[in-house]
Structure 1
């Protein structure tokens, strides 16, 4: 990143190494504001420097408001641009907001004031008058302001257009969709949106941001806070109390507070029952070192996690995140054949989706734009090409393609049959979830049956992702998996499982679950010679 600051402006700001500060805002924060940032906080600040949207879930007293103040202050002072005559040619506007006036006036703004005041005491003459909840410059187009968000006064967000504009929202789980929609209307040019929150409900705009690929996502876990980590070293005899006190961060969560919450809100479990997706963790105190499982209060207030997913949600977000982490280190098993899921776009949709799955490893999703026009021949041609590009077999099983033949997919399937392409299967979401002999397909436990094939296929994805089943599922980054994490299910009176309708899901999440559909149909059960499909522990609970 470069700057057009004149020498005079550099002297005014009191920055001797502006280029270094512009390249890494963490340098600016530490050298100018004189603050200490732990590695997780540095990662958040660098994200705000480079990414349009950043969302942070946090435990209590983990420094989320502090790092927010650092981020908005860096944006305020490091993004404006001047020409050689000192004229402001790239203005900057920063808005901080929260659900209550107290959160803005007593928490957010004072943190910013502390930073500016500390910089000035250190000899950095940062410009601006501190007044009300604002920092006002001589140029009226360069400022920072803070105010309470009002769901009924979204017009307050108009007029925030600038070359550089940033919005910082704290306690974002308490903000309405209307406020965020108003904010997003101003995200033009060099814009930033930073939202920080405690995930008390697992729902709403902030919680959904944690599921969307366009957001840079972070979680501030109190177990990783420097005060907590360093006192833990004292408990283990690795450092002295004097060393701890020399590095103690005032106001940040400490070990003693967390230890009290461990005793009140967690239960000791056997190490063999440890599941990271449950929020399980190891903790050592005067009773020894044990493995703990937290309740929802501990998940939210300490670990910065969402409360456990409601019983009617198909897939918890934590399962998706765990599968994505495995994908980063994983790779395709050459002994597993390709299962290609093809969800064909209809007239009212933009994209057809191809899911490339090899056993546990989903290599990628390919999205093909259709522009709302039927493109059967293009999709059929691409399916043929993708199958022919994979030559490996496993136990004589060649690459297979599974086509959703409800609606537009029927034409693609028919064309592939005309071309005599082997290993192509028609999948009808509404057909009975039964094998060729009329036996109902069941879940991993052998207990649940399903209303239709769509319910069975999506439940197979759930079984695959569920860490309790020894899952090694791997999902690629960048996809939007809300068609799994927001999908609801219920138990029918006959004991079978039924999913929320696709239309209802689309209305709630504002998108068609194309990638999720293409993944689900890769679990279509290909019958054995006798017409049955076996799903056993040795077969990893799901088809190859």
Structure 2
């Protein structure tokens, strides 16, 4: 081989390693739209990427491109040509048919397209694999068998990637097995149609660990330009038909962002669940027993961002600080603090205890906050570990500004009257139910509270997992914490800290309405 050619090839590989989108264009010969390129860049830079998508929006195609980029751009050799950083890529789906008809054909087309362009990628394409001359450098595809978790045990490598298509159809246990292999330079990319709002795939769209994307068929290039820009992607006529058959025409004055109303060709529409899932790439409307719809959290976070853009990062708070504290218990490492001023949660913070009780340290931090702000109030969870913290705060002389939140106590005010929701219609089984519902009333856009929440801290994931029901006497009760933890994989610490701030204490001042900012 010509020496100049070798140098040129090495330089080109360095370029491709820096820019996977360039590798996709030049080596694989593919044209990605702007949103697909953003997904590919995310996979290049981030360990976890989640993509919820409408129909025929190219999610499986971009997943295959990402897999090929990882396979060929991450392994490394020494000067002797020895493989010193191996790479393994696994593609999976819920059924054998999906593996055979979706995963493998996309990979094969990319592999053969590169060859037709004069790019001789290492390895041989077989029925379900790309196998190279190195046993520790390969791509393979197989069904995610829920009864064979040992299938994932052989995927330890310097560079490891897992691509999961139709991810909403795979059990949480399988993802737990995959998670056990996410070490070193690892990636997981999951792509799916959002058919259900529960499960690992759904949580990935809420969790803070993930880089999240949503591919909306309304914004697909073929739909926007009303012609075939990217062959194989969803087309204009299909989307137009679904707008007519899966949406209701509404007046512009009836527009409601929380219902995902949208404009199309000069008319306003309200989507049914089929349209949400198949076109918008959004989850179906939250079930009636879910406490908080995700869109309410999103709206509150948008208000928070807009408010702090207007007033600066320090903000402008005119109401009394209500400090909600969820104290770490046995087996938990963090105590969570929620700082709420009227309709604005300024921030959540946490203190790490390393699993060792640190009651005096937590009490000291609360006392210092109360000392600096003579109007501040603290609401402390006193079930279990928090009782000692509350007792210490009282000892320090802050009894008038410290409140014990016992979730098991009756939902009654200081006069012994039953606490109700904003409408006065609903009563509650206990204080926990009242406090959780108070957050629901606060976030509900129709109540005009202009609630603001800082993005992040896992609150979306926690809030949207909580379920409620009516008891036989008509009182509202929240499901047990243990049931939430089974689905979520952890306790609702941030949500609990926020709930504590709604403990019924009479306030002296209110925040002015800030709706004109939005």
Which residue number in structure 2 is paired with residue 359 of structure 1? 342
CA positional deviation for 1:15: 6.2
Preserved contact between residue 55 and residue 210 of structure 1 (Cα < 8 Å)? yes
CA positional deviation for 1:100: 1.7
Superposition pairs of residues 144-223 of structure 1, within 5 angstroms: 144-223=139-218
Moved more, 358-367 or 211-220: 358-367
Give the Cα–Cα distance (whole angstroms) in 2 for the partners of residues 528 and 352 of structure 1.
25
Q: 1:126 aligns with which of 116, 121, 130?
A: 121
Superposition pairs of residues 17-416 of structure 1, within 5 angstroms: 17-231=12-226, 244=227, 248-284=229-265, 289-331=266-308, 332-390=315-373, 398-416=375-393
Which residue number in structure 2 is paired with residue 505 of structure 1? 484
Aligned residues: 506
CA positional deviation for 1:10: 8.7
Deviation string, structure 1 residues 450-498 (Cα, Å, up to 9, x no partner): 1221111111111122222235323223322343211111112222211
Give the Cα–Cα distance (whole angstroms) in 1 for the partners of residues 482 and 196 of structure 2.
24
Which residue number in structure 2 is paired with residue 445 of structure 1? 423
Deviation string, structure 1 residues 49-102 (Cα, Å, up to 9, x no partner): 111111111110000001101100100111001111111100111111111222
Q: Go from structure 1 to structure 2 and tell me whether the alpha carbon gap of 1:272 and 1:8 turns closer, same or farther (over 3 Å shift).
A: farther
CA positional deviation for 1:347: 3.0
Q: Go from structure 1 to structure 2 and tell me whether the alpha carbon gap of 1:77 and 1:261 turns closer, same or farther (over 3 Å shift).
A: same
Give the Cα–Cα distance (whole angstroms) in 1 for the partners of residues 319 and 331 of structure 2.
35
Preserved contact between residue 13 and residue 124 of structure 1 (Cα < 8 Å)? no
Q: Go from structure 1 to structure 2 and tell me whether the alpha carbon gap of 1:409 and 1:153 turns closer, same or farther (over 3 Å shift).
A: closer
Q: In angstroms, what is the RMSD of aligned CA positions? A: 2.5
2:225 counterpart SS class? helix
Deviation string, structure 1 residues 265-290 (Cα, Å, up to 9, x no partner): 11122333323232211111xxxx22
Preserved contact between residue 410 and residue 429 of structure 2 (Cα < 8 Å)? yes
Give the Cα–Cα distance (whole angstroms) in 2 for the partners of residues 28 and 416 of structure 1.
60
1:277 counterpart SS class? helix
Q: Which runs of 5+ in 1 are unaligned?
A: 1-6, 232-243, 392-397
Q: 1:493 aligns with which of 469, 472, 479?
A: 472
Moved more, 115-124 or 42-51: 115-124
Q: Go from structure 1 to structure 2 and tell me whether the alpha carbon gap of 1:376 and 1:403 turns closer, same or farther (over 3 Å shift).
A: same
Moved more, 64-73 or 313-322: 313-322
TM-score under structure 2 length normalisation: 0.92
CA positional deviation for 1:538: 8.4
Q: Which runs of 5+ in 2 are unaligned?
A: 309-314
CA positional deviation for 1:539: 8.4
CA positional deviation for 1:363: 2.5
2:325 counterpart SS class? strand
CA positional deviation for 1:389: 4.3
Preserved contact between residue 97 and residue 147 of structure 1 (Cα < 8 Å)? yes
Preserved contact between residue 10 and residue 16 of structure 1 (Cα < 8 Å)? no
Q: Go from structure 1 to structure 2 and tell me whether the alpha carbon gap of 1:330 and 1:41 turns closer, same or farther (over 3 Å shift).
A: farther
Give the Cα–Cα distance (whole angstroms) in 1 for the partners of residues 332 and 5 of structure 2.
52
Which residue number in structure 1 is paired with residue 456 of structure 2? 478
Which residue number in structure 2 is paired with residue 236 of structure 1? none
